[in-house]
Every structure is written in C-alpha cells, then in structure tokens.
Amino acid sequence: MVRGPGKTGRDAAEPQEDNPAGEASPPAAGSGGRLSVEEAARLLDLPEKTVERWTRQGRIPFSRDGRNNVFDRDELLAWARHGGLIKPSPGMPPGHAVKAGKDGETLAAAIARGGVFHGVAVRDRAEALTEAVRLAPVPESFREEFLRLVTRREEVASTGIGRGAAAPHPVCPVCPPANPSAVTVVFLKDPVDFGADDGIPVFVLFLMLCAKSAAHLRLLSQLAVMLSDSDFVAILRTQPQADTLIAEIARREASLPGPAGPPGSDK
C-alpha cells in the first residue's frame, strides 16, 4: 500500500468501482477500518466530488490500495476535527479528538517564520512558483532543488485550493526534522491562472515548507477552513501587512478545535 499525500502516485487515482450494495456503512469508531471515497464522503457529510478533489490536491489523508484510494477512519476523523470540519463528540476525553502534534506548531507562527510579501509581479504560474521559492527562507545551496521539487508537485496536480489561493509545496517534506515549519505568503500584483478547480485566478500563494507530512496536513487543513469564510478571503484581497495578517490568522486559529493558538502559546 502506498501512503499519501506526499507521494506522486496519489494523483494517479482512478475512479472507484461502484459498490453493488450501495449501502456500506463505515466501520465502528476506533476500529481502524478503511473507508472508500463514498464512505469517507458520508462520514464527513461532503459531496464525493469534494473528497475526490481534495485527494487529488493532497488536502486530505489517504492511502492507495491497488487501484483504489482508501481512508483510515480514525485518521480521517482526527484530521477533520482538527481542521474544524466536525466537532468533537460529547464526552470525548480532552485532547483526544484534536491534537496539534508534539511540535505545537500553528499556521500563524509558521507564517511569521516564512514572511509575507506584497505586489509580486509575475506573468504565469511558473513565475509565481519561482518568485515564491526565491522569497522563502530556504538555504541558497538548496533553493534550486527546492524549486524543482515544488514544480514537480505542481505538474502532478494544481495546488490551487480555490477562492484565489494556492498552497504550493514539494512532493515530500524537505525541512530538516529539527526545523519548525514555515509558510511564505506571496501576494501577487496581478492574479494568474493556476488551473484551480473553481477556475478563479490565484492572487495569493501560501508556500509550505514542512518537515513532516502530519504538520503539512494540519496547517493546510486550517488554511482550507479559513478560506471557506468569505470574510477571510475579503481580508486577504486587501493584501494586509504581515502583523495584521498574522494576528487575524492567530485569532481564527484560537477558535478552531484543539490546542492551536496564537504565536507564543505553543507548549
């Protein structure tokens, strides 16, 4: 079985075969059972097409079993709760439903490390990726290779996550394990086509540099939840200064389930 996201094979997924019964139920909680796309969509109360799209974009944890994409029920629930897609069940022990990870990283802190840049002029997606990598806190000796990895990931499937935002990242975690994650925010002077599913040109990039897939998924899920709020997208379109953007994201993170909070609150 091939694990994803973070593997190039995840976007080669073929459509699932129809379930003859059509009424399969997800395994009982805590069983560690695997779910089909249909079952995962039912569990999250989402359209199947949304789950399939998120799988292609690397926004949701899944595995490959032969020709099929499958989802671990417990892993999927933890991911969804941490991203704010569903709330912890009443009576669930504190800290069980959502766990930010031993690193305690937050999206706000990662952006503070990665930097925020405004009015970056580019002509197309390739130039946008090149500029984002140039601005990111990457050692010069590694910058060319990092760009290659980011570009390779983009060739697999667009990292445009909708509503005018993109979250480019390499095909696999590349930070040294001891380094905290960094997210470089790049506001473009003029939007460019990223081939996003919603067709909206991208005006802001969140270039993600994470040491571990779990941290990448966690930060990306938080960003996806925030982008579902039209008010947050409107704030992004004003191209706020770094301190304003970081404070707004920290405020929103504090309202999500789990221990994530403002920068400096990490345990």
Q: Are strands 182-192 and 165-166 parallel, antiparallel or unpaired?
A: unpaired
Among candidate residues 82, 96, 118, 169, the one labeled active-site is 169
* 161 and 222 part of one domain: yes
89-122 pLDDT, tens digit each: 333 333 333 334 444 578 999 999 999 999 999 9
169 catalytic residue (yes or no) = yes
State how far the Cα of 256 lies from the Cα of 253, in Å rounded to an integer. Answer: 5
Quick one: which of 172, 170, 175 has its CA closest to 103? 175
* 237 and 128 part of one domain: yes
More confident residue, 208 or 72: 208
Global confidence as pTM: 0.62
* 158 and 66 part of one domain: no
* 69 and 143 part of one domain: no
> What pLDDT does residue 55 have?
80
Where residue 221 sits, what CATH number does that domain have?
A: 3.40.930.10
State how far the Cα of 251 lies from the Cα of 248, in Å rounded to an integer. Answer: 5
Where residue 9 sits, what CATH number does that domain have?
A: 1.10.10
* 78 and 185 part of one domain: no
> What pLDDT does residue 122 have?
97
* 233 and 125 part of one domain: yes
State how far the Cα of 224 lies from the Cα of 227, in Å rounded to an integer. Answer: 5
Domain of residue 184 covers: 107-254
152-181 pLDDT, tens digit each: 889 888 899 899 999 998 866 555 444 688
- Whether residue 175 is contained in a domain is answered as yes
* 77 and 111 part of one domain: no
- Whether residue 160 is contained in a domain is answered as yes
* 167 and 243 part of one domain: yes
- Whether residue 96 is contained in a domain is answered as no
* 154 and 197 part of one domain: yes
* 31 and 129 part of one domain: no
Question: Of 33, 66, 82, which residue sits at a domain end?
Answer: 82
Contact 169, 175 (CB under 8 A): no
- Whether residue 93 is contained in a domain is answered as no
219-266 pLDDT, tens digit each: 888 898 899 899 999 999 999 999 999 999 999 988 876 544 333 333
State how far the Cα of 185 lies from the Cα of 137, in Å rounded to an integer. Answer: 11
> What pLDDT does residue 83 have?
54
* 44 and 115 part of one domain: no
- Whether residue 57 is contained in a domain is answered as yes
- Whether residue 212 is contained in a domain is answered as yes
What is the tally of structural domains in the chain?
2
- Whether residue 89 is contained in a domain is answered as no
3-state SS, the chain, equals CEEECCCHHHHHCCCCCCCCCCCCCCCCCCCCCEECHHHHHHHHCCCHHHHHHHHHHCCCCEEEECCEEEEEHHHHHHHHHHCCCCCCCCCCCCCCCCCCCCCCCCHHHHHHHHCEEEEECCCCHHHHHHHHHHHCCCCHHHHHHHHHHHHHHHHHCCCEEECCEECCCCCCCCCCCCCCCEEEEEEEEEEECCCCCCCCCEEEEEEEECCCHHHHHHHHHHHHHHHCCHHHHHHHHCCCCHHHHHHHHHHHHHCCCCCCCCCCCCC
- Whether residue 235 is contained in a domain is answered as yes
Question: Of 67, 82, 97, which residue sits at a domain end?
Answer: 82
* 184 and 114 part of one domain: yes
